[in-house]
């Protein structure tokens, strides 16, 4: 995004540049060596993937979207997608490290003051702290404008009170972009955005949710009890927070598409290898036409999801007029495909696919959330219908 805004050359969305191919190879090698070996354990124990975080930080892959000005890699939207996709191919939970770092910090990039960018993007780029995004509440999910968290001005400070729910990596992240009501009379135009730090007095966290999938990424409530923060931690002008939140999701829904795409690819790759080794009736089951047709359909769907996701990444980089539509379409389509492909992978492995001894059942469980978070796929269809190109 920064490159496009600065007048840098655009990439061909159908033929990734050589640097993107090199990035994919590097991330895949790293993911297979340093992340994949711990994926089953992370899921089984429902623990944060510290090995993945360490590996990503050591290789500057934890927040590649941060502009070079603030010490980041300045990666374009497609590069960010490729990183998330390749990590998700082996571990869905670990892919939420780069994905949510972008989600949490993008409001600062889009609307924050120069001082705020220096203060928070630099430590993010160094790996000194992750970023999370606090929009949803117990009674404000799809209807995010109905939130109740309040921010009241008190001299040179704001005092925040409220509860945020379904916050990814809560408790692990050092920084939180928090949406709060500053003028309850204006509904969405009375919502402002702030950066809250984990160490701020009055910040606490609920118990981790017991989830179906992505068990290695903690999902917790964030409690704000008279949290007093400097007024200069507001992101943009007062009352612009909801608009910033929606602009952010236009870009970051594509990262969820990337996560879904990676999970689907991982399941397809594993299933392809399995059917070549599994023998029935005297030959590999890969020789049977019914199996071949299933694999062909799975591969076709993954290819289609990749094309749409990369097209959306190109729109994100250029900030195209149809970005809202494409972001929603990519997220919706790729996540639906991920659910289909992982379910088919379990079927191809038969009884083995239903056990935790093989990774495809984990991939199927991980895929489900991609149809739900950052806006359910029902909401994505509403967004698409309202923004048809």
Could you give the residue numbers annotated as active site? 374
H helix or E strand, kind and range, residue 192: strand 191-197
Distance between CA atoms of residues 251 and 386, nearest Å: 17
Instruction: Centre a 10 Å sphere on the Cβ of residue 20 and count the other Cβ atoms it contains.
Output: 19
Helices (H), ranges, the chain: 2-5, 18-30, 36-45, 50-58, 77-88, 92-111, 114-126, 241-277, 289-318, 323-349, 360-369, 377-386
Can you give the length of the chain in residues?
389
Of 273, 339, 259, 238, the C-alpha closest to 306 is 259
Distance between CA atoms of residues 386 and 132, nearest Å: 28
Q: Mark 232-262 as b/e (b = at least 16 C-beta within 10 Å).
A: ebbbbebbbbbbbbebbbbbbbbbbbbbbbb
Cβ atoms of 177 and 124 closer than 8 Å:
no
Question: Which residues fall within 8 angstroms of residue 135, CB to CB, at 6 or more apart?
Answer: 144, 147, 164, 179, 245
Cβ-based burial of 10 (10 A; exposed 0-12, middle 13-18, buried ≥19): exposed
Q: Which residue's entry shows tokens 């990183």?
A: 83
Distance between CA atoms of residues 349 and 294, nearest Å: 12
374 dihedral zone (left: phi>0; alpha: psi -120 to 50; beta): left
| C-alpha dihedral sign at 68, 248, 61, 314 | negative
């Amino acid at each position: 995004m920064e490159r496009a805004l600065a007048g840098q050359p655009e990439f061909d969305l159908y033929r990734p540049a050589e640097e993107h191919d090199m990035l994919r190879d590097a991330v895949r090698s790293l993911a297979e060596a340093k992340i994949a070996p711990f994926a089953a354990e992370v899921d089984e124990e429902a623990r944060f993937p510290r090995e993945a975080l360490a590996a990503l930080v050591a290789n500057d892959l934890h927040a590649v979207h941060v502009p070079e000005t603030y010490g980041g890699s300045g990666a374009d939207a497609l590069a960010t997608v490729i990183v998330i996709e390749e990590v998700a191919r082996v571990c869905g939970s670990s892919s939420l490290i780069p994905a949510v770092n972008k989600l949490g910090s993008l409001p600062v990039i889009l609307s924050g003051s120069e001082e705020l960018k220096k203060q928070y993007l630099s430590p993010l780029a160094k790996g000194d702290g992750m970023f999370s995004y606090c929009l949803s509440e117990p009674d404000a999910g799809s209807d995010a404008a109905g939130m109740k968290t309040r921010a009241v001005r008190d001299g040179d400070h704001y005092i925040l009170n409220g509860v945020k729910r379904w916050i990814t990596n809560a408790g692990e992240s050092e920084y939180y972009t928090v949406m709060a009501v500053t003028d309850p009379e204006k509904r969405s135009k009375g919502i402002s955005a702030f950066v809250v730090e984990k160490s701020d007095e009055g910040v606490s966290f609920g118990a981790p949710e017991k989830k179906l999938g992505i068990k290695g990424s903690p999902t917790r409530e964030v409690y704000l009890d008279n949290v007093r923060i400097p007024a200069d931690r507001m992101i943009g002008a007062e009352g612009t927070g909801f608009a910033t939140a929606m602009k952010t999701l236009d870009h970051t829904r594509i990262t969820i598409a990337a996560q879904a795409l990676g999970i689907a690819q991982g399941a397809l790759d594993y299933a392809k290898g399995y059917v070549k080794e599994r023998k029935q009736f005297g030959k590999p089951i890969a020789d049977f036409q019914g199996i071949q047709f299933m694999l062909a359909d799975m591969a076709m769907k993954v290819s289609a999801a990749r094309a749409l996701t990369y097209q959306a990444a190109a729109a994100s980089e250029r900030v195209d007029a149809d970005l809202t539509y494409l972001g929603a379409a990519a997220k919706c389509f790729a996540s639906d495909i991920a659910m289909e492909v992982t379910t088919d992978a379990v079927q191809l492995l038969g009884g083995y696919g239903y056990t935790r001894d093989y990774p495809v059942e984990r991939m199927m469980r991980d895929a489900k959330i991609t149809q739900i978070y950052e806006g359910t796929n029902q909401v994505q269809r509403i967004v698409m219908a309202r923004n048809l190109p």
